[in-house]
Amino acid sequence: MRMGEFSRRTGVSQRLLRYYEEQGLLTPSRRPSGYREFTEEDIATVRGIRILLGAGLNTATIAELLPCMIDDGRILAAACSGTLAGLDRERERIDQAVAGLLAARRTLDAIIAATDPAVTGDPEACVAAGSGIRPDDTGSLAGATT
């Protein structure tokens, strides 16, 4: 099937399908005219790509792991125990990212909890000392630079 129908059947934009091809995740055959030709197997490949992207993996890691995965139509499974090391590595990376986000949330919670409720009702009380930064009508800090 050609790109348009393949896009419709997978629910993935043509632009994203071309990106998958550039990343080596998809390898459609080419007609003599140069048009890409996709197969039913390519539909399963795109499903696997989408599952692994949803699991937080980047395309380089997916290119490494996808050939070693089995798709039963519902979920992917490792085809061999050697693939588990790569999946465990990605799980650890995600665990570390989650821990970092939770620590950031705890810090924000502590700042919010330490804020005097009487101060939060007075926008002028939020003026940074000597900086000239004042809250605007939206609550953002006008004049702040990042």
The pTM for the full model equals 0.69
Provide the b/e sequence for 113-146 (b: ≥16 CB within 10 Å): eeeeeeeeeeeeeeeeeeeeeebeeeeeeeeeee
Q: What's the pLDDT at 76? A: 86
Q: Are 91 and 99 in contact (CB under 8 A)?
A: no
Query: Domain 3-116 - what CATH class?
Result: mainly alpha
pLDDT tens-digit profile of 84-98? 888 999 999 999 999
Q: What's the pLDDT at 7? A: 96
pLDDT tens-digit profile of 32-56? 998 999 999 999 999 999 999 999 9
Q: What's the pLDDT at 25? A: 95
Q: What's the pLDDT at 115? A: 84
Residues of the chain where predicted confidence (pLDDT) is lower than 70: 118-146
Q: Where are the domains of the chain?
A: 3-116
Distance CA 48, CA 72 (A): 10
Q: What's the pLDDT at 122? A: 57
